[in-house]
Structure formats: structure tokens, C-alpha cells
């Protein structure tokens, strides 16, 4: 067996299942699940129609590079959303959801012959980053979130020697679980570090279309353009339809950026067998081409956050995030695991303890004392959950 498999840590939900083994949730209350970030708003009709009308495509092998029409639809969306002009043939590549791509990308860019190869991640983080690094033969380094800066990653915690060994940096903006959005100055700092040390930046932007202010979150390629880096050297953005269009089961997204990296990634994916199904490609074209359903989706999340956040702010340390569909809440007493178990047992509400989403680094676990609430259910269900959480916090 591949010995690197032994370096993987259990996924957060697997750890939570172990913690709750033998626990009986309150049967008098209907269960409410706020733990998993799985969108539950209805899938747009234009997507399901396009999917069903393209079923004849199942009779053909798809190309890994995707249909030219899909790549063009992705490039056009990037132009509309970020004002970034891309060559659809060389700078865009469809992927089967951002999770698959974020993992595979590390296998493409990490040099396994380098015993000191390092991947830097924010902390807390999406665990795929760590697994991708370890299975590519790299070590990991973490930049903890800073509560004083709206839980943005504190990149100054990474010393010069570690940056010099770094081959890949994962960033997530808007962040999971914190909701923090990286400003232009932070991008400028990371681009300067990447230029100095030669590492690649993988920018996870799958929550970019769920935001609450008037201005949409800044994207990595948009930041590069603003800083006169139009070649997107050593930069790749990852995005997905799962959250934007409520199609997590469709597994559809794309990556865009440095044409040199796109060539290498396409070569890897050709052998990896990662071609997108033809019906999914046609449904993706329909989704990327429409914004009306995205606006409606965003408005639905805004209503939920506006209703729920004030209730929770009375009893938890919590505020509206910059973007995304998570609330990152501090719990009374600072025991995130204990609070989550009590909430499930007494109030039948499932949340994810923050310490399970982070690693001990720089002398602390930056997720400890906090819980992640995924406001993916309907308004009424989220409101009921908030009221139960408030009751739990008072006991």
C-alpha cells in the first residue's frame, strides 16, 4: 500500500461521528443539520432542463479539455464577473468540482524528489489541501487565522526558511470556515512572496458568489490584473457551480490562470481520467451563462443571515461574515466539542466543532472554542436552529 496514506488524518465529519458514537439526540425535537456545507436551495430549472436535454451525450467519450463551448462560457463568465480576459483554449480547464481539482493540482505541481517540499495552508482550512500535500509527498505549514483581523490568515507566521521551501500555497477567499475575503494588499504581498520564492498559488474561490455587501469579493485573477500581472504567472483560480448554482451533486467547475500550469494540469488529468460528462458540460454552459438564479440564491442567503445572526449574537461571539454561507461562532466557555455534543444531545442540532477544522500550529488550535454553522437550510429551519442554539448557550 502507498505508505503516504498512513499520514492522512480522519476527515472532520469522520471525527465527529466518533465523538457522537452512542449519543442519542433529543427525540422530542426534529433534527436540524447545520454541520455540512451542502447547498440545499433548489437546483435551477435551466440547469436540469439542459442536463436532461443532453443525455444523448452519454453515448460518447468526453475530451478531458472539455467542449470549446464550455471553456468559452467559463471565460466569458470570468470577463463579466472579474473583468479578466482569458484565452479559453489555453487558460481555462473544466473540472469535476473544485474538490477534485484542488487535490489533483498538488499532484501536478509538487516535485516529490524534493524531500523538503512544503505546502502552505490557512488554518483552519479545507482538509483537501492537507491531504493533497501529504499524498504528493510534501510537508505542510499553517498560517493561523487572526481573530483581530476578521479571522484572515496571518501569513507573517510563515518564516522565510519555510517560504523558501514552499512549492504550493493554498488560499481560500472567501474563506471556509471564516468567511474572510482577501483584500488587494494581501494579494500583493503573496504575489511578491511567490515571485521571490517561485511557488505556485492555488486560489480556492468556490464561495465567491455568496456575499452580503454591494461589492462582490475580489478574485485572485482580478487582483493580479489590478497589479499589472496579466500573465497570471504561477497563479490558478478554482471555482465551482456547487454553491453558486446549488448543484453539489453535479460536480462541475473550472480552473483558470497561468497557461503553462494549465498545460501541465491537462496532461495530468488526461491520465487521471477526469473528463467531465457531456450532459454535465451542457448543463454547466447553461449555469455559467445565467446570473438571475445566482442573484436569487444570494438574496435567499442574505435573508437567512439577517434573521439568524442577531439571535445568535446575543449569546455567542459571532458577526456577519464577509461572504460564504457559514457563521464562525465562539461558544461560551471555549469548549467547542463539548458545546456541539450538548447541542446535539439536548436540542438535536448538528454543528461542526471548529477545532476539527484546524491543526495545532504555532502553539494553538485556531478553531478551538468556535463552531461552524452552515446556513444551508430554509429560513424557518435556520431560525428554529438559532433559537435552539441560543437556548443551549444559556444553560
The CATH topology of domain 45-290 is 3.40.640
Q: What digits encode the pLDDT tens for the residues 144-201?
A: 999 999 899 999 999 999 999 999 999 999 999 999 999 999 999 999 999 999 999 9
Cα distance between residue 97 and residue 276, in whole Å: 10
Q: Does the global pTM surpass 0.85?
A: yes
Is domain 3-42+293-393 annotated with CATH 3.90.1150.10? Answer: yes
Of 285, 281, 233, the closest CA to residue 260 belongs to 233
pLDDT at 331 over 90: yes
**So where are the chain's domains?**
3-42+293-393, 45-290
Residue pair 114/120 in contact by the 8 Å Cβ criterion: no
Per CATH, 3-42+293-393 and 45-290 having the same topology is answered: no
Cα distance between residue 106 and residue 343, in whole Å: 37
How many Å separate Cα 291 from the centre of its chain?
21
How open is the CA angle 336-340-343, to the nearest 5 degrees?
135
Q: What digits encode the pLDDT tens for the residues 256-272?
A: 999 999 999 999 999 99
* Residue 290 DSSP symbol: -
3-state class (DSSP) for residue 141:
strand
Q: What digits encode the pLDDT tens for the residues 3-59?
A: 999 999 999 999 999 999 999 999 999 999 999 999 999 999 999 999 999 999 999
Beta strand pairing call for 235-240 and 200-204: parallel
* Residue 377 DSSP symbol: S
Residue pair 44/287 in contact by the 8 Å Cβ criterion: yes
Cα distance between residue 295 and residue 309, in whole Å: 21
Cell of 205: 474561490
Amino acid at each position: 500500500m502507498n505508505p503516504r496514506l498512513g499520514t492522512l488524518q480522519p476527515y472532520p465529519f469522520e471525527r465527529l461521528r466518533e465523538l457522537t458514537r452512542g449519543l442519542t439526540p433529543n427525540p422530542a425535537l426534529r433534527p436540524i443539520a447545520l454541520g455540512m456545507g451542502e447547498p440545499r436551495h433548489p437546483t435551477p430549472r435551466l440547469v436540469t432542463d439542459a442536463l436532461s436535454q443532453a443525455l444523448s451525450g452519454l453515448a460518447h467519450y468526453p475530451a478531458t479539455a472539455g467542449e470549446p463551448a464550455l471553456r468559452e462560457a467559463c471565460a466569458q463568465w470570468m470577463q463579466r464577473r472579474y473583468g479578466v480576459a482569458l484565452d479559453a483554449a489555453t487558460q481555462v480547464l473544466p473540472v469535476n468540482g473544485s474538490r477534485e481539482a484542488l487535490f489533483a493540482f498538488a499532484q501536478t505541481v509538487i516535485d516529490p524528489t524534493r524531500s523538503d517540499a512544503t505546502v502552505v495552508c490557512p488554518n483552519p482550512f479545507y482538509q483537501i489541501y492537507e491531504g493533497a500535500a501529504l499524498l504528493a509527498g510534501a510537508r505542510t505549514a499553517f498560517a493561523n487565522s487572526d481573530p483581530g483581523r476578521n479571522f484572515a490568515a496571518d501569513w507573517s507566521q510563515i518564516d522565510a526558511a519555510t517560504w523558501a521551501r514552499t512549492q504550493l500555497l493554498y488560499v481560500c477567499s472567501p474563506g471556509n470556515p471564516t468567511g474572510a475575503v482577501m483584500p488587494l494588499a494581501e494579494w500583493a504581498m503573496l504575489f511578491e512572496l511567490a515571485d521571490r520564492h517561485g511557488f505556485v498559488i492555488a486560489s480556492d474561490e468556490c464561495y465567491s458568489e455568496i456575499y452580503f455587501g454591494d461589492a462582490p469579493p475580489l478574485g485572485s485573477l482580478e487582483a493580479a490584473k489590478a497589479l499589472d500581472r496579466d500573465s497570471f504567472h504561477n497563479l490558478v483560480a478554482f471555482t465551482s457551480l456547487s454553491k453558486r448554482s446549488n448543484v453539489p451533486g453535479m460536480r462541475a467547475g473550472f480552473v483558470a490562470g497561468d497557461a503553462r500550469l494549465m498545460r501541465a494540469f491537462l496532461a495530468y488529468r488526461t491520465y487521471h481520467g477526469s473528463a467531465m460528462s457531456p450532459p454535465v458540460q451542457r448543463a454547466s454552459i447553461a449555469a455559467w451563462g445565467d446570473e438571475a438564479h445566482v442573484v436569487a440564491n444570494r438574496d435567499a442567503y442574505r435573508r437567512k443571515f439577517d434573521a439568524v445572526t442577531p439571535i445568535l449574537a446575543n449569546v455567542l461571539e459571532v458577526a456577519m461574515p464577509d461572504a460564504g454561507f457559514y457563521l464562525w461562532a465562539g461558544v461560551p466557555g471555549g469548549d467547542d466539542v463539548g458545546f456541539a455534543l450538548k447541542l446535539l444531545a439536548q436540542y438535536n442540532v448538528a454543528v461542526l466543532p471548529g477545532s476539527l477544522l484546524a491543526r495545532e500550529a504555532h502553539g494553538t488550535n485556531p478553531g478551538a472554542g468556535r463552531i461552524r454553522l452552515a446556513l444551508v437550510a430554509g429560513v424557518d429551519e435556520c431560525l428554529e436552529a438559532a433559537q435552539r442554539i441560543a437556548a443551549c448557550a444559556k444553560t
